[in-house]
Amino acid sequence: MSSQPADKRQPAPLDLASDLASPAAARGRLVLEAADLSKNFKLGRGQVLRAVRAVSLGLYRGAVVALVGESGSGKSTVARLLAGQLHPSAGQIRLNGTPVEVSGRQAFRRYKSDVQLIFQDPFASLNPVHTVRYHLERPLGLHRGSLSREQVHKEAASLMEQVRLTPADTFLAKYPHELSGGQRQRVSFARALAAEPSVLLADEPVSMLDVSIRLEMLNLLDDLRKRFELALLYITHDIASARYFADEVLVMYAGQIVERGPAEDITQEPAHPYTQLLVSSAPDPDDLGGALRNGARLPGAADGDVDGAAWSGGRAGLAGAAATPAAGACQFSNRCPLAIDRCRAEAPPLLKVSASRAAACWRLDVAAPAVYAGREGGGDITS
Amino acid sequence: MTAERSNRVSGPDGARGQGDYAAGPLLSIRDLSVAYRTVAGDVRAVDHVSLDLQAGEIVGLVGESGSGKSTLAYGACRLLRPPAVITSGSVRYQGRRMGTPTEILELSPDQLKSMRWREIAIVFQSAMNALNPVLNVADQLTDVIRAHLQVTRTQAAQRAAGLLDLVAIPRARLRSYPHELSGGMRQRVMIAMALATEPEVVIMDEPTTALDVVVQREILGQILELKERLSFAILFITHDLSLLLELADRIAVMYGGQLMEVGTASEVHYEPAHPYTKRLLTSFPSLRGPRRKLTGIPGTPPDLLDPPPGCPFLPRCSDGTEACSRIEVTLARVRTSADPSHLTACPFVLPDGQAGSAGEQATVPAAGQAGAKELSP
């Protein structure tokens, strides 16, 4: 797909996105910050899986940042790094400006009272042999040590009211199996809130729930964010819900952030070819089957085996196929219809296209001409 | 192939002549009820449901978990084990290869066995669990082929390779084990397996739910392509209405074990008649177009052990009145719809923008019943 003129033309230089203004910053002050966070997993036989590569993001009080990507893209690994459950291979996590070094049980617990994680599967994340009361009173005891027994009871009841599981006493006495999926997820919200955190990391909090319940849960989460001024990281593969829910959207692919910016901009005018693929793959109810039926090919499907490519791209090294891009190349280049030689040789950094928006792509001028042309302070585009 | 086929398919109740079939629905579910017998009483998971599937049609069955959509499909194929009991109804299957219609609920176990997969195949929801982890793809495919067709080992192996071609998986993957395949590939192996014996009806139970959007789209495109090529009918079960609007010809909306609305995709999208359908349509965020106000559906689905009287959606319905608790839920024709097969279970509410005067019935009871009956042969 390499077109001669484009190759010859010197692309107008885009600035590196080093001083990007997060759209989430308008909501409140910076709480948790990740700087060039990386995580490598050793696979044995000298192979290394680079699950997270130099991810930087900031979580601000009262704001929602969405992390969007396919499975295997490293979204959950980012959440686990931020939650202190994994040690980063490189990079730094800063909580309220102080670098965090989570080592040892005490430090971990202290960190946990600020940063709480909500898991995807409410069926697996609650202990089946304990009542709801236990699930709430244990974190209350651990993180809010000075509470008396009576206060703990009162706090647990008030938490249940916060997540609207009323009457509180009835629900506190129940076991997880007596609750529906939505109710269980409410319990895990309440459990996370028990520590009075300032940051909530929600790893696909609604993807296991029914469509009719999902929206209610997202609204509840949004409500809790407002009420407690939580800094929220919302991890999802559903970019449509990110549009409604998030201030800033980060799109992840093969461990890297390939595009970031205000939610509405990213979803309505995606610039990176991968984001475009993601957006075009979302079901379009208004289309009533037009595109799907007419066999419209997706950008990434041009070479046929999209799925296989995703497999090797997401889990580089495991499949070890020739389709896997080299370590130094753009990781999307094997699926990208716009890929040129430069993409296969040199990985693009995040390039700034506006004050609050960036994309990691060498071919932005072709992939998203409007976004490219509208960029701020842009140099002349030679043509 | 054809010779083996008729040989296998026709049951002991007489050789079936070719060609002698009326143009009726391929699969006709009438008044089907399935209950789970528990100590506390019967859970009425499917309550008097009627649904038709025409040849070459995609019917989408949408509902939340516990609404009975899988039970309906599995019940119609008699795949349910006790404590599930079919308490009423009939399921008539009239395949093009079979001649006379067959009443599935009256078949003997042997007849059922020859019918399953041969005529009606299922793609199960979780491909990881549905594939055998200790057998490779080739073994699993040939197993199916040899169990349902009388072919030699070599023929079966050839057919297995052809099936992988069909779903665009390289033949080299025949020797792969399920854990070596990606989620999308596994699901495609499941689809290939369902198509192994060229069934006329394929039931797909949430075939793409566990997959990424990009892969999901690929597979849906492939399903449509295969459907065009092999012309089978699909009963597509999902909880994602936005997906069905794009995929299905007709959509059946299920709630609390009963059908709430049946209509074409465009009717369901643009003129939803039942309050539940209307609420469902406003519960998923859309990626395109202006940002709509999303309301969701407060409340929880009914307890089927002790269902509320009247309409099962009443406790969550914003249009509900006292009269709703007294109605008997039956599908009837939507009064304002030109299409006699657009059916709703709500007699009070009209599609948006088509105000009826108070007290006026939204459905056409007499004609509606007739309309519903017209569908059955």
With an 8 Å Cβ cutoff, are A289 and B217 in contact? no
- pLDDT for B7 equals 36
Q: Is the backbone of residue A261 left (phi > 0), alpha (psi -120 to 50) or beta?
A: left
How far apart (Å, rounded) are the C-alpha atoms in residues B367 and B124?
38
- DSSP-assigned beta bridge partners for residue B84: B36
Strand order in the sheet with A351-354: A115-118, A199-203, A231-236, A64-68, A248-253, A256-262, A357-359, A351-354
Angle at B308 between CA B302 and CA B309, to 5 degrees: 150
> Smallest CA–CA separation between A240 and chain B, in Å?
5
* Helix and strand element counts for chain B (H, E): 12, 12
Residues of A in contact with B188 (CB under 8 A): 307
pLDDT of residue A123 exceeding 50: yes
A27 pLDDT tier (thresholds 50, 70, 90): confident
How far apart (Å, rounded) are the C-alpha atoms in residues A338 and A274?
11
- Is B26 in contact with B53 (CB distance < 8 Å)? yes
Q: Which of A211, A293, A308 sits opposite B224 (nearest CB)?
A: A293
How far apart (Å, rounded) are the C-alpha atoms in residues B8 and A247?
61
Q: Which of A180, A213, A285 sits opposite B269 (nearest CB)?
A: A285
Based on its alpha-carbon atoms, the radius of gyration of chain A, rounded to whole angstroms, reads: 22
pLDDT tens profile A289-335: 666 665 544 443 333 333 333 333 332 322 333 367 777 889 888 88
**B250 to chain A: closest CA residue:** A288
With an 8 Å Cβ cutoff, are A284 and B300 in contact? no
Cβ count near A370 (within 10 Å): 9
Q: Which of A181, A211, A215 sits opposite B240 (nearest CB)?
A: A211
How far apart (Å, rounded) are the C-alpha atoms in residues A218 and A233?
13
- A269 in reach of chain B (CB within 8 A): no
Residues of B in contact with A239 (CB under 8 A): 213, 287
Q: Tell me which residue of A141, A142, A137 sits closest to A157, measured CA to CA.
A: A137
- B213 in reach of chain A (CB within 8 A): yes
Domain boundaries, chain A: 4-15+278-373, 23-265
Considering the domain A23-265 in this protein, what is its CATH number? 3.40.50.300
- Is A324 in contact with A331 (CB distance < 8 Å)? no
Report long-range pairs for A374-379 (Cβ below 8 Å, ≥24 apart): A375/A14, A378/A12, A378/A14, A379/A12, A379/A13
Please report the residues numbered 124 through 153 in chain A whose beta carbons come closer than 8 angstroms to any beta carbon of chain B. none
A130 pLDDT tier (thresholds 50, 70, 90): very high
How far apart (Å, rounded) are the C-alpha atoms in residues A157 and A7?
65
pLDDT of residue A113 exceeding 50: yes
- pLDDT for B6 equals 38
Q: Which residue shows structure tokens 């949004």?
A: A222
Please report the residues numbered 359 through 378 in chain A whose beta carbons come closer than 8 angstroms to any beta carbon of chain B. none
Residues of B in contact with A301 (CB under 8 A): 218
φ, ψ for residue B202, nearest 5 deg: -120, 120
* Residues found in chain B: 377
Contacts of B1 (CB under 8 A, 6+ apart): none
pLDDT of residue B352 exceeding 80: no
- pLDDT for A107 equals 81
> Smallest CA–CA separation between A55 and chain B, in Å?
22
- pLDDT for B23 equals 62
To the nearest whole number, what is the mean pLDDT of chain B? 81
Report, in this order, helix, strand and coil percent for chain A, each rounded to 5.
40, 20, 40
In three-state secondary structure terms, B206 is coil
Based on its alpha-carbon atoms, the radius of gyration of chain B, rounded to whole angstroms, reads: 21
Interface test with B, best of A71, A184, A211 (most B CBs within 10 A): A211
Alpha carbon A197 to its chain centroid, in Å, reads 19
* Residues found in chain A: 383
With an 8 Å Cβ cutoff, are A240 and B286 in contact? yes
- pLDDT for A146 equals 82
What is the predicted ipTM?
0.73
Residues of B in contact with A285 (CB under 8 A): 241-242, 245-246, 269, 281, 284, 286
> Smallest CA–CA separation between B64 and chain A, in Å?
6
Strand order in the sheet with B102-103: B41-53, B27-38, B84-93, B102-103
> Smallest CA–CA separation between B160 and chain A, in Å?
19
With an 8 Å Cβ cutoff, are B65 and A300 in contact? no
Mean pLDDT across A158-172: 87
A:B CB pairs within 8 Å: 142
> Smallest CA–CA separation between B89 and chain A, in Å?
29
* Helix and strand element counts for chain A (H, E): 16, 12
**CB-hemisphere CA count at 13 Å for A188?**
27
- pLDDT for B297 equals 81
**B294 to chain A: closest CA residue:** A215
Contacts of B303 (CB under 8 A, 6+ apart): none
User: What is the DSSP secondary structure assignment for residue B15, as one 8-state letter?
Assistant: P
- Is B214 in contact with A298 (CB distance < 8 Å)? yes
With an 8 Å Cβ cutoff, are A278 and B214 in contact? yes
**Do strands A357-359 and A256-262 pair parallel, antiparallel, or not at all (unpaired)?**
antiparallel
pLDDT of residue B253 exceeding 90: yes
**Do strands B84-93 and B102-103 pair parallel, antiparallel, or not at all (unpaired)?**
antiparallel
- pLDDT for A360 equals 92
**B185 to chain A: closest CA residue:** A307
Report long-range pairs for A296-304 (Cβ below 8 Å, ≥24 apart): A298/B214, A298/B217, A298/B218, A299/A273, A299/A336, A299/A337, A300/A273, A300/A274, A300/A335, A300/A336, A300/A337, A300/B214, A301/B218, A302/A337, A303/A334, A303/A335, A304/B168
**A236 to chain B: closest CA residue:** B212
- pLDDT for B252 equals 94
Q: Which two tokens stand for residue B167?
A: 């779903």
**Range name among A4-13, B60-69, B158-167, B299-308 with the lowest pLDDT average:** A4-13
How far apart (Å, rounded) are the C-alpha atoms in residues B198 and B187?
18
Q: Percent of chain B beyond pLDDT 70?
A: 86
Q: Which two tokens stand for residue A157?
A: 């009841």
Q: Percent of chain B beyond pLDDT 90?
A: 15
How far apart (Å, rounded) are the C-alpha atoms in residues B192 and B186?
10
Report long-range pairs for A37-46 (Cβ below 8 Å, ≥24 apart): A37/A78, A37/A81, A37/A88, A37/A90, A37/A91, A37/A92, A37/A93, A38/A88, A38/A89, A38/A90, A38/A91, A39/A74, A39/A77, A39/A81, A39/A86, A39/A88, A39/A89, A40/A89, A43/A317, A43/A318
Mean pLDDT across B247-273: 91
- Cα B114 to Cα A302, A364, B2: the distances in Å are 40, 57, 15
To the nearest whole number, what is the mean pLDDT of chain A? 81
- Is A237 in contact with A151 (CB distance < 8 Å)? no
First-to-last C-alpha distance (Å) of chain A: 19
Q: Tell me which residue of A278, A300, A235, A261 sits closest to A83, measured CA to CA.
A: A235
Mean pLDDT across B131-154: 89
Q: Is the backbone of residue B6 left (phi > 0), alpha (psi -120 to 50) or beta?
A: alpha
Residues of A in contact with B171 (CB under 8 A): none
A2 pLDDT tier (thresholds 50, 70, 90): very low
B357 pLDDT tier (thresholds 50, 70, 90): very low
Please report the residues numbered 142 through 201 in chain B whose beta carbons come closer than 8 angstroms to any beta carbon of chain A. 168, 170, 182-185, 188
- A292 in reach of chain B (CB within 8 A): yes
Q: Tell me which residue of A270, A374, A260 sits closest to A25, measured CA to CA.
A: A260
Residues of A in contact with B239 (CB under 8 A): 210-211
- B290 in reach of chain A (CB within 8 A): no
- B291 in reach of chain A (CB within 8 A): yes
> Smallest CA–CA separation between B331 and chain A, in Å?
22
Residues of A in contact with B269 (CB under 8 A): 285-286, 288
- DSSP-assigned beta bridge partners for residue A358: A260, A352
Please report the residues numbered 48 through 67 in chain B whose beta carbons come closer than 8 angstroms to any beta carbon of chain A. 64-65
With an 8 Å Cβ cutoff, are A306 and B242 in contact? no
> For the stretch A227-240, what's the b/e string if a residue is b when 16 or more beta carbons lie within 10 angstroms of its beta carbon?
ebbbbbbbbbbbbb
With an 8 Å Cβ cutoff, are B239 and A211 in contact? yes
Please report the residues numbered 54 through 93 in chain A whose beta carbons come closer than 8 angstroms to any beta carbon of chain B. 70-71
**Range name among A2-11, A30-39, A328-337, B252-261 with the lowest pLDDT average:** A2-11
Q: Tell me which residue of B54, B55, B32, B53 sits closest to B44, measured CA to CA.
A: B32
pLDDT tens profile A77-112: 999 999 988 889 999 999 998 888 877 788 888 888
- B328 in reach of chain A (CB within 8 A): no
A272 pLDDT tier (thresholds 50, 70, 90): very high
In three-state secondary structure terms, A355 is coil
> Smallest CA–CA separation between A238 and chain B, in Å?
8
- pLDDT for B2 equals 39
pLDDT of residue A230 exceeding 80: yes
Interface test with B, best of A307, A312, A334 (most B CBs within 10 A): A307
- A283 in reach of chain B (CB within 8 A): yes
User: What is the DSSP secondary structure assignment for residue B334, as one 8-state letter?
Assistant: B
pLDDT of residue B364 exceeding 80: no
pLDDT of residue A10 exceeding 50: no
